[in-house]
Amino acid sequence: MPFQVIEYKKTSHVMVININYPEAMKLKIDSLTNELTELNSKIAWDEEVRVIVIMGVGEKSFSMETGLNGVVSMANEDQTKQFFSIAEPIAKLDQPVIAAMDGDAIGQGLELALACDIRIAAEKARFGLPQIKSGMIPLNGGTQRLPRLVGRGKALEMILTGEMIDAQEAYRIGLVNKIVPPDKLMKETMDVAQEMASKGPIALRYAKEAIYKGMDMTLEQGLRLEADLYCLLHSTRDRTEGIEAFREKRTPRFEGK
């Protein structure tokens, strides 16, 4: 299907996704979810994509304070409730995902950023989950991903008050990984993305899997998962290439195999 609000471009091994949020706000959430899901499928079949960058258009690039319409819809004749999430297609990506936030990240826009692995923000950006002010609660993972990232106490404060925090506070609590001047956001983000993309793509995916799955396991189970994934890497050509490149003192040429 033709995308209405998403544009994407592949630069080397980095896929850059631009979401036009002003246009997105005109759509129901199922439309945007379908676009993100379809793009997820394209990326899954593209072996050249090793890192993904998500950006928005304009200073309110991740601002969805009032929320998209149609988070819950009735499906089929039996009126079964169906939930739509713009964050879930991003959270399901195997590759590392970086959110580049030029402006405010509010509501469902922040929930989308929380589904990414690394968040880089402009110094002027603000962050918040204000749904409580409208008698609602976050539904795109905010109540689950935020406390896992910043701790239960700060997450409770942000969600129960609905108040905004600035970029400095977001950096202090670990909500964002880096804050930069607005005119350097794209360069800084692409530098990080390209640096990641130069690493072994299988190792990138396995490291991400070990961290996310391991957090929901006991330490013993997590260590076993880590060991299993490490052993699997020994059977790859990338692992052999990495060793040979180290011995020959050259940059490795990883193939993702």
pLDDT at 248 over 80: no
**Residue 95 and residue 115 in contact, taking contact as beta carbons nearer than 8 Å:** no
Q: In the chain, pLDDT over 90 holds for what percent of residues?
A: 53
DSSP code of residue 131: G
CA 211-34-120 angle, to 5 degrees, is 45
* 43-97 pLDDT tens trace: 888 888 999 999 876 666 676 655 554 444 444 545 455 567 888 999 999 999 9
* 128-162 pLDDT tens trace: 999 999 899 998 899 999 999 999 999 999 999 99
* 84-93 pLDDT tens trace: 788 899 999 9
Q: In the chain, pLDDT over 70 holds for what percent of residues?
A: 84
User: Rounded to whole angstroms, how far apart are CA atoms 218 and 6?
Assistant: 39
Burial 154-165 (b: 16+ CB within 10 A, else e): bbeebbeebebb
* C-alpha torsion angle, residues 1, 78, 89, 224 (rounded to 10): -140
pLDDT at 9 over 50: yes
pLDDT at 236 over 90: no
Query: HSE-up of 18 (CA within 13 Å, CB side)?
Result: 11
Q: Reduce the DSSP state of residue 188 to 3 states and report it.
A: helix
Number of Cβ atoms within 10 Å of the Cβ of 135: 6
User: Rounded to whole angstroms, how far apart are CA atoms 118 and 254?
Assistant: 23
* 212-222 pLDDT tens trace: 999 999 999 99
Domains in the chain (CATH in brackets) are 6-197 (3.90.226.10), 201-248 (1.10.12.10)
Q: What is the mean pLDDT of residues 229-246?
A: 80
pTM for this structure? 0.87
User: Rounded to whole angstroms, how far apart are CA atoms 60 and 122?
Assistant: 11
Compute CA distances 102 → 55, 68, 89, 124, whole Å: 8, 20, 22, 8
Predicted local confidence at residue 1, as pLDDT: 58
Q: In the structure encoding, which two tokens stand for residue 34, read together?
A: 């379908």
More confident residue, 50 or 24: 50
Predicted local confidence at residue 5, as pLDDT: 81
pLDDT at 36 over 90: no
Compute CA distances 237 → 19, 72, 227, whole Å: 36, 46, 18
More confident residue, 14 or 242: 14
Least confident of 41-45, 165-169, 252-256: 252-256
DSSP code of residue 67: -
Q: Average pLDDT, whole number, for the chain?
A: 85
